[in-house]
Chain A
């Protein structure tokens, strides 16, 4: 069965520091992978997605993620965090022929000044 694990429940990063949020997935074939961000009381905004091809994916707001098949990982990175990046981040996986996204439990990012 498909599953997504986000090992870090809560991360605090200083403003201007780099960020890496971890995501591990379980899926038999090459999955579709997504990162979404959710601000308090808001819906989900798509940051980036991986379908195929280049394993380093660029997204909005300066985020990028790297697909590593050997490690079943799709970690999200940002070189310099801004206070406005404080939010909940969700990694999700979808089957190529499927209809549903399976989400991880999320990582809460706090940004300290």
Chain B
């Protein structure tokens, strides 16, 4: 069975641009979460979606937004990119919401902002 898949794997953007990152959860998983991992740090929670509804939001500016589609895949959008947005963006899926469920991570999308 396929794990959590993310695209693109690597991308370079210019300050001020917009980026869209995509995630497909494990088959049967209805919850998707997004994390940002800056080099040398642990992942930081951005969003969680369950059954297409936002269930949690971390301490990130409104430039960050996300959505979940009927097939449970998800997009993370970041507007007006800053140099500090350069990071590994990790998508994670679980059967249901709540951290009591095992969360499985994808390999991430490396974003470099120049």
Chain A positions near chain B (C-beta within 8 angstroms): 4, 32, 34, 36, 42-46, 49, 51, 90, 92, 94-106
Answer yes or no: B72 CB below 8 A from chain A CBs: no
Q: Assess the B108–A98 pair: CB atoms within 8 A.
A: no
Told that A34-B103, A90-B42, A100-B99 touch, could you supply 4 new A-B pairs with CB distance under 8 A? A43-B108, A45-B105, A98-B98, A106-B41
B3 to chain A: closest residue by CB: A43
Query: Which of chain B's residues have a CB closer than 8 A to the CB of A45?
Result: 105
Chain B positions near chain A (C-beta within 8 angstroms): 4, 33, 35, 40-45, 48, 55-56, 58, 90, 92, 97-100, 102-108
Interchain Cβ contacts under 8 Å between A and B, 19 examples: A34-B103, A42-B107, A43-B106, A43-B107, A44-B43, A44-B92, A44-B105, A90-B43, A92-B42, A94-B99, A96-B100, A99-B48, A99-B55, A99-B97, A100-B45, A100-B58, A101-B35, A103-B42, A103-B43
Query: Which of chain B's residues have a CB closer than 8 A to the CB of A97?
Result: 98
Chain B binding surface SS class: loop
What is the bound-complex CA distance between A45 and B106, given in angstroms?
A: 9
Query: Which of chain A's residues have a CB closer than 8 A to the CB of B104?
Result: 46
Q: Assess the B103–A98 pair: CB atoms within 8 A.
A: no
What is the bound-complex CA distance between A106 and B38, given in angstroms?
A: 12
A100 to chain B: closest residue by CB: B45
